[in-house]
């Protein structure tokens, strides 16, 4: 797979290789386009996504929304190198009032959503399903490191919109994000459908930081008619962004189109390099010890209130694993 095609032999050594024709699912493919000073990651999710969404048996609109959140979290979380977590949480007044995706570096994903089935109705897109509230993105790199949290308001827009807002406010790096989720139906598989998803993140990282300057955020309290500070965007970024905006959902999801071929299709005129893909898995990180530690963090009254039929039973919302404790094990004091 790492062999170079003849027409690439003149390029410098390094990660350059011919686009692989073989699609890899559940993987993040980092890439860079030197000529445009952009770098990013492409993600394709198949079995891992299907495993998470199917286990919970979500109605299709909820599955699609949580799928988008999983793709976004994967794009962001895969920037963590060795350890740490990237947690995306949405809390809103919409039909899907809560969702969480937990990415544990280097390669574990888990997620769940809470929703009100009676309110799903005609809400189809992510904006309508989420409604108003906020999206929190937390980077937790372990006990010795400070936690970082970025918050974005959700105001009826899509998760892509919210991601752009996050990058504009928190990271101040010109960024485009694309997210797509779909259901694949195969007649030779008993008619069962499978969830698939794909997404792309692209960032403008020129060596001269002034080239990445963006227009100021609109001052919400400026008098009407006040001029908003205008900044001409860099030509390279305008070109890269317009290329990424041509990507269609079907291309991001297509099980027959490898990530490398998709990147080549987009950037072949400028030359694109890809790096070693990172393979992901759907895996919960819950354990009996972790649940016991969580119980210990509760107040004695809260613990006592959890005793039913002389047992404390805790079900993991991510993976539905059930943990049983005696009141004694759960730290419940005798009444
Ligand atoms: Zn679990």
Domain boundaries, the chain: 9-282, 288-325
pLDDT at position 6 over 60: no
User: Mean pLDDT lowest for which of 13-27, 137-151, 291-305?
Assistant: 13-27
Using one digit for the tens of pLDDT, what is the confidence trace for 198-245? 999 999 999 888 888 876 555 555 566 666 566 788 999 999 999 999
Q: Give me the phi and psi of 328, to 5 degrees please.
A: -65, -50
321 C-alpha vs ligand 1 centroid, how far in Å? Answer: 6
Predicted pLDDT at 304: 92
pLDDT at position 125 over 70: yes
Give the pLDDT band (50/70/90) at residue 268.
Answer: very high
Give the pLDDT band (50/70/90) at residue 4.
Answer: very low
Calculate mean pLDDT across residues 162-174: 89
283 C-alpha vs ligand 1 centroid, how far in Å? Answer: 8
322 C-alpha vs ligand 1 centroid, how far in Å? Answer: 8
CATH topology assigned to domain 9-282: Hsp33 domain (3.55.30)
26 C-alpha vs ligand 1 centroid, how far in Å? Answer: 20
Predicted pLDDT at 196: 96
175 C-alpha vs ligand 1 centroid, how far in Å? Answer: 33
Mean pLDDT score across all residues of the chain: 88
110 C-alpha vs ligand 1 centroid, how far in Å? Answer: 8
Predicted pLDDT at 5: 41
Angle at 196 between CA 192 and CA 197, to 5 degrees: 165
Give the pLDDT band (50/70/90) at residue 184.
Answer: confident
287 C-alpha vs ligand 1 centroid, how far in Å? Answer: 7
141 C-alpha vs ligand 1 centroid, how far in Å? Answer: 20
Give the pTM.
0.87
SS3 of the chain: CCCCCHHHCCCCCCCCCCCCCCCCCCEEEEEEEHHHCEEEEEEEECHHHHHHHHHHCCCHHHHHHHHHHHHHHHHHHCCCCCCCEEEEEEEECCCEEEEEEEEECCCEEEEEEEECHHHHCCCCCHHHHHCEEEEEEEEECCCCCCCEEEEEEEECCCHHHHHHHHHHHHHCCCEEEEEEEEEEECHHHCCCEEEEEEEEEEEECCCCHHHHCCCCCCCCCCCCCCCCCCCCCCHHHHHHHHHHCCCCHHHHHCCCCCHHHHHHHHHCCCCCEECCCEECEECCCCCHHHHHHHHHHCCHHHHHHCCECCEEEEECCCCCCEEEECCCCCCCCCC
Residues whose Cβ atom is located within 5 A of ion ligand 1: 284, 286, 316, 318-319, 321
Calculate mean pLDDT across residues 54-62: 92
Predicted pLDDT at 7: 39
Predicted pLDDT at 18: 56
333 C-alpha vs ligand 1 centroid, how far in Å? Answer: 27
286 C-alpha vs ligand 1 centroid, how far in Å? Answer: 4
196 C-alpha vs ligand 1 centroid, how far in Å? Answer: 22
């Amino acid at each position: 797979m790492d062999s170079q095609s003849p027409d690439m032999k003149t390029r410098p050594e390094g990660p350059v290789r011919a686009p692989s024709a073989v699609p890899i699912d559940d993987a993040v493919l980092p890439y860079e386009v030197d000529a445009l000073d952009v770098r990013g990651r492409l993600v394709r999710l198949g079995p891992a996504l299907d495993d998470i969404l199917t286990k919970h048996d979500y109605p299709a609109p909820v599955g699609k929304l949580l799928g988008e959140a999983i793709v976004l979290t994967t794009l962001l979380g895969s920037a963590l190198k060795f350890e740490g977590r990237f947690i995306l949480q949405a809390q809103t007044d919409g039909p899907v009032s809560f969702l969480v995706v937990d990415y544990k570096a280097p390669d574990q994903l888990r997620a769940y959503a809470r929703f009100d089935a009676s309110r799903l109705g005609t809400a189809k897109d992510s904006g309508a399903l989420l409604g108003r509230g906020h999206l929190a993105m937390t980077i937790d790199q372990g006990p010795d490191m400070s936690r970082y949290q970025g918050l974005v308001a959700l105001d009826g827009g899509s998760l892509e919109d919210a991601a752009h807002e996050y990058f504009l406010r928190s990271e101040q790096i010109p960024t485009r994000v694309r997210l797509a989720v779909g259901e694949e139906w195969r007649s030779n598989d008993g008619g069962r459908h499978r969830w698939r998803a794909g997404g792309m993140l692209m960032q403008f990282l020129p060596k001269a930081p002034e080239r990445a300057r963006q227009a100021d955020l609109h001052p919400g309290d400026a008098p009407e008619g006040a001029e908003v500070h205008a900044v001409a965007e860099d030509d390279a970024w305008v070109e890269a962004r317009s290329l990424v905006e041509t990507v269609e959902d079907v291309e991001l999801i297509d099980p027959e189109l490898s990530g490398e071929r998709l990147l080549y299709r987009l950037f072949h005129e400028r030359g694109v390099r890809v790096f070693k893909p990172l393979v992901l898995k759907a895996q919960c990180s819950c354990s009996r010890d972790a649940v016991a530690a969580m119980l210990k963090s509760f107040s004695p009254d809260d613990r006592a209130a959890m005793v039913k039929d002389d047992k404390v039973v805790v079900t993991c919302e991510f993976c539905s694993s059930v943990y049983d404790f005696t009141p004694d094990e759960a730290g419940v004091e005798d009444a």
